[in-house]
Chains A and B, each alone.
Chain A
Amino acid sequence: MTTPDSEVVADQRPAGDGDALLEVRGLRKHFPVTRGALVKRQVGAVKAVDGVDFAVRPGETLGLVGESGCGKTTTGRMITRLLEPSDGQIVFEGQDITHVSQGRMRPLRRDLQMIFQDPYSSLNPRKTVGSIIGAPFRLQGIETENGVKRAVQDLLEVVGLNPEHYNRYPHEFSGGQRQRIGIARTLALRPKLIVADEPVSALDVSIQAQVVNLLEDLQEEFNLTYIVIAHDLSVVRHISDRVGVMYLGKLVEMSDATNLYDSPMHPYTVALLSAVPIPDPAKRKGRERVRLQGDVPSPLNPPPACRFHTRCWKAQEICGKVEPPLVEVVPGHRVACHFPENAPEGAGEKVTKAAEQADLA
């Protein structure tokens, strides 16, 4: 399995301290908005991700949820270095990979892989399944014991496809099967961290469950760490150990899944959870729903301070002036809000105080 290339990289890595597999600090991505045909002037920036901090521990599943435009996909793409971060730091196994060049990144790709949302556009229609799944071996120059073909067939079996499908083309498969092909490709090099961007949203309900179960089985079998990006809150709860909620480029709440769903603290999380339709007609009546007004503001010109204050029913003067940082108010539960719900006495003050301290510093 080893090549000269990987040995070099292995040397650079400090011995894993086992604390966090991936750490993201103050990550930002601003897409410039330019005007003018010949001389391009920057007239603004879409602040897709604007200062996000979190860590992923080995073996866990971190879910990132939020509505479209909240920056969850951009975050995922920066972690896998498909997008260049504007600011901040990404540390993978103790190594800063924020601005590592493409060439130096390549050996790291082995450990850091991505599952894409759309099983139709993420597979090359002119390549056979065998060559699609075999590509990582060829690109990384990896020799397998019994040849690439054998390795690919083993992978097909792992993800629940027939090894005889080796010579078929993607169009011969259904959506769920294609997603399995994508997962097999992702697994080929036994990565440590997989970023799954909406892995099941393009699939039918009955197939979704198959793929969710498959992802869980693979995690157990290969000791994988996942970052699952999804908008479906029930899927995220099912699959994640910890969940982060994003709104307009910022993390507004982060906690272990049970806490977050049982006692959400940020008003946005509360609104998000109460908007999910419950598949039980008996609960239709008497359900109190937080109705959010209007749409998510444009990330071109996000509201100042707390970005949710324009739609928040608890907002007061301070919310438009002082930005609440993400503060741990209960062990393991971080929230960025001056007036959190379901929180112990004094939690809001804790956030406000942290904001003042950050201001002074």
Chain B
Amino acid sequence: MTEDQTTDKTAEPASAAAPKSFLDVRDLRIHFPTDDGLVKSVDGLSFQLERGRTLGIVGESGSGKSVTSLGLLGLHNRRNARVSGEIWLDGQEVVGSSPEQVRRLRGRKMAMIFQDPLSSMHPLYTVGAQIIEAYRIHNDVSKEVARKHAIDMLGRVGIPQPDKRVDDYPHQFSGGMRQRAMIAMALSCDPELLIADEPTTALDVTVQAQILDLIRDLQDEFNSAVIMITHDLGVVAELSDDILVMYGGRCVEYGSAEDIFHRPEHPYTWGLLGSMPRLDRDRSERLIPIKGSPPSLINVPAGCAFSPRCAYSELNEGRSETERPELREVAPGHRVACHLGREDRRRIWNEEIRPKL
């Protein structure tokens, strides 16, 4: 089934006009047909990203953020995933490309840091061998040169005695070191797009701080574009230039980090901010949770997917339940998908939400 779409897309690349941005995702949809129904993991996602910038994608489990990253890399199972839309990476369209073409992009142009480094590294090969393999696939160099490069990379990500540790197996590394090795592998071919899917979730705070600093330093050095996928708003605030908030497979709010944290306009973003105990504020008496739980992606609520959990849905004269709000630009670079009027949103944020945070 993807075959048909593939031919469709390759037939009309010229019409889509070469995008100006380094990464341009247009109306990306990734659906999985299952026995229970169609799972719409990603349902119409569009964003752009430039080199040297960091985009944070935030959302709860099941919001489609990880599927998005797999889709960008072409790592979804082609037999059961239905992918449509366009992904332009540096002028090349990825969705319509053949698996062989995507493979050549992967590793060289784009690379990924996975959440769990223990299960994403091969336990029977040394760390060095895995980095060397990745490097030699994309570069025609001898084993010796590749090994030197691997040692160099391990040293760059802060692994002590890299010339010795290069021959260790993943289980001989601690969690933080494995994540560093993972980053070394991802960066071995100087990718221009780095996707980090919950890169620090399995790590302790002090190690997390080290890894975040490392990603930031490496980004400065390589001028790569970074997509940071996480559920932790603190991590996003530390690293991101722009933030995309996902809910039920769609983007509900997009804006600069300042917009999202200081002038958020979507009730879901308010909910996320209110749910979180914060160290930088006085201790609040009570957290303000979002009621209910995230929707199943098979039965996404009609209208606004957030409406059953939204405290303000009744202000919209029933439109929340029937009509899906489109993502609209409310200020330069700040887009929100909500039926509430602009004045209402601003008033609620300033009068009801912000004082309680």
Query: Is there contact, CB below 8 Å, between A275 and B278?
Result: no
> B210: which of A177, A279, A291 is its contact (CB, 8 Å)?
A291
Size class of the B contact interface (CB-based, 8 Å): 35 or more
Query: Is there contact, CB below 8 Å, between A277 and B280?
Result: no
Given contacts A207-B289, A279-B273, are A295 and B207 in contact (CB under 8 A)? yes
Nearest residue (CB) in B for A293 is B210
B80 at the A interface (CB under 8 A): no
Given contacts A67-B204, A67-B205, A278-B234, are A209 and B257 in contact (CB under 8 A)? no
A321 at the B interface (CB under 8 A): no
The smallest C-beta distance from B299 to any residue of chain A, in angstroms, reads 14
The smallest C-beta distance from B235 to any residue of chain A, in angstroms, reads 5
Given contacts A68-B204, A209-B275, are A281 and B237 in contact (CB under 8 A)? yes
Q: Which of A252-275 contact B (CB under 8 A)?
A: 257-258, 261, 271-275
Interface string of B25-43 (1 = CB under 8 A from A): 0000000000000000000
Q: Which of A288-337 contact B (CB under 8 A)?
A: 289, 291-292, 294-296
B105 at the A interface (CB under 8 A): no
Query: Is there contact, CB below 8 Å, between B290 and A281?
Result: no
The stretch from A131-139, A187-195, A231-239, A347-355 touching chain B is: A231-239
Residues from chain A with a CB closer than 8 A to the CB of B207 are 67, 295
Given contacts A204-B294, A277-B232, A295-B174, are A284 and B206 in contact (CB under 8 A)? no
Q: A204-B60, A206-B275 are in contact. List 14 more A-B contacts (CB 8 A).
A: A177-B293, A206-B271, A234-B279, A235-B277, A261-B279, A272-B206, A274-B209, A276-B279, A279-B278, A281-B261, A284-B238, A291-B213, A292-B206, A295-B174
> A212: which of B209, B231, B283, B287 is its contact (CB, 8 Å)?
B287
Nearest residue (CB) in A for B238 is A277
Measured CB to CB, the residues of B under 8 A from A are: 60-61, 160, 174-177, 204-210, 212-213, 231-238, 240, 257-258, 261-262, 271-280, 283-284, 286-291, 293-294
> A205: which of B60, B177, B280, B291 is its contact (CB, 8 Å)?
B60
Residues from chain A with a CB closer than 8 A to the CB of B213 are 291
A174 at the B interface (CB under 8 A): yes
Nearest residue (CB) in A for B290 is A206
Query: Is there contact, CB below 8 Å, between B60 and A234?
Result: no
A283 at the B interface (CB under 8 A): yes
Query: Is there contact, CB below 8 Å, between B235 and A277?
Result: yes
Residues from chain B with a CB closer than 8 A to the CB of A144 are none
The smallest C-beta distance from A339 to any residue of chain B, in angstroms, reads 19
Bound: A289/B257 CA distance, A? 21
Nearest residue (CB) in A for B236 is A279
Query: Is there contact, CB below 8 Å, between B274 and A209?
Result: yes
Residues from chain B with a CB closer than 8 A to the CB of A67 are 204-207
- For this complex, 29 residue pairs linking A to B, each with C-beta atoms less than 8 Å apart, are A67-B207, A68-B204, A176-B293, A205-B233, A205-B272, A206-B275, A206-B294, A208-B275, A208-B289, A209-B275, A209-B288, A209-B289, A210-B289, A212-B277, A213-B286, A233-B279, A234-B278, A238-B284, A271-B206, A273-B279, A276-B205, A276-B279, A277-B234, A279-B237, A279-B261, A279-B280, A292-B206, A294-B160, A295-B177
A282 at the B interface (CB under 8 A): yes
Nearest residue (CB) in A for B288 is A209
